[in-house]
Amino acid sequence: MDLVAIVGRPNVGKSTLFNRLVGSRYAIVESAPGITRDRIYGEAEWTGVHFKLVDTGGFIPGNAEVMEESIREQALLAISEAQVVVFVLDGRDGVTAFDEEIANLLRANKKNTIVVVNKCDNVVQDDYSYEFWQLGLGEPYPISSINGHGTGEFLDELIKHINYSPEGEDIDTRLKICFVGRPNVGKSSLTNALLGETRSIVTEIPGTTRDAIDSVYKYYGEEIVLIDTAGLRKRSTIKENIEMYSILRTARAIERSDVGVILLDASRGLEDQDKKIINMLDEARKGILIAVNKWDLIEKDTNTVEFFKQDFFEQLPSYSYLPIVFISALTKQRIVKVLEQAIKISERRKTHIKTSELNEVLLPVLDLTPTPSVRGKDLKINFITQVKTEPPVFAFFCNDPKLIPENYKRFLENQIRKNWDFTGVPISLIFRKKN
């Protein structure tokens, strides 16, 4: 699926446009269990054409001295990654020096670029856009990312540059496992240890893996694709852009994978960036395995493993279904366990439970544990069926989906996990009105 990057200087409305296109407010900091993060990556659709969208807003540092360098770095990242760039400008401010610099970069790299002049809230203000012809990047499209004015014409032009086939883009049926995690946690070392050769450059410098590298591993005659995700740009010194680059690369690798192996550093434990990556895999509904690397460097006693697990699940209680393996890529200790567990998770994602079995097991439990009444109405779940695998999706048919509180949805998920093995597999519940 093609990637579209939104670029531009600060305060021109990039995140507002991102929110409108992905149909949500994900770019705003939101809360999840144990996680607070900025969402800059999502999927959008226009007239049946789907594309990935990345917002480079929100990573501009407050220090004016490094702002110009930061904007240049972000534009370069977008140019290197995206098939199409949406260049957002402020119609009320006119063309600025920052705008001209970004335009120079886009022209020099001959990237497909759509010029969007934001804050044109009506037909009269569309005249703001004429000034932006001087950037030499083609026709400027006046829009309002707040009220939606002009976005239809802009999107019609955008999808002309998108390559999209609705007939399933990935026909490769091999199991694809991506190794993701913070810089210098051992992703490339694990790949090399499994392959028995130096497929990726490994150094002590965080971020020496610049691209996602695919390798094929033969396991009992079956081919498995290992995706070693890129770390960070070695030459970059701007913290905010390093994070953007890391998230972008990780998201693209997750998109192509079936199972994500999140590597943690045993000496550092669970950190905020790890939580973000776990949440990305969960949102993408991919299989998830936690691999604690550098376990050989830890002083251990009989309870060390249990203490580590206890701390992990105390921080992320909603992810209690995740399996954890303890490995050393350096000594090759238990590294084959990573593949064994990933294969099992992949198989669980394919699990299909018969409708009769689901209803026979779950409905009596739900009758014994009904939801509390809402405005005098009682919820009644009449029927349950699994409507999808890879990832598993379960549909609950009831008298009124609006009556189901969030804690009861978690209860329903827990009941499914209690009766069937979905270890390492995110599952989705949807609620439909009967008939």
State the pLDDT at residue 52: 84
Q: At CA 150, angle to CA 3 and CA 23, rounded to 5?
A: 50
Q: Where does the pLDDT of residue 166 fall: very low under 50, low under 70, confident under 90, or very high at 90 and above? A: low
List own/partner pairs for 414-417 with CB under 8 A and 24 or more apart: 415/362, 415/365, 415/366, 416/362, 417/321
What angle (nearest 5°) sits at the alpha carbon of residue 388, between those of residues 384 and 394?
30
The DSSP element (H or E) to which 378 belongs, if any, is none
State yes or no: pLDDT of 376 exceeds 60.
yes
- Work out the average pLDDT over 282-305: 92
Q: Which of 104-108, 235-239, 417-421 has the lowest mean pLDDT?
A: 235-239
Can you give the pLDDT at residue 159?
A: 92
Higher pLDDT, 251 or 210: 251
Q: Which among 57-71, 195-209, 387-401 has the top mean pLDDT?
A: 387-401
The tens digit of pLDDT for each residue in 8-23 reads 888 888 888 988 888 7
Distance between CA atoms of residues 391 and 284, nearest Å: 9
Q: b/e string for 43-60 if b means 16 or more Cβ within 10 A?
A: ebebeebbbbbbbbbbbb
Distance CA 76, CA 70 (A): 10
Note the pLDDT of residue 416. 96
Looking at mean pLDDT, say which of 100-104, 245-249, 274-278, 419-423 comes out highest. 419-423
Quickly state the pLDDT bin for 138 (edges 50, 70, 90). Answer: very high
Dig out the tokens for 68 from the structure.
């110009």
Q: Which of 35-39, 104-108, 345-349 has the lowest mean pLDDT?
A: 35-39
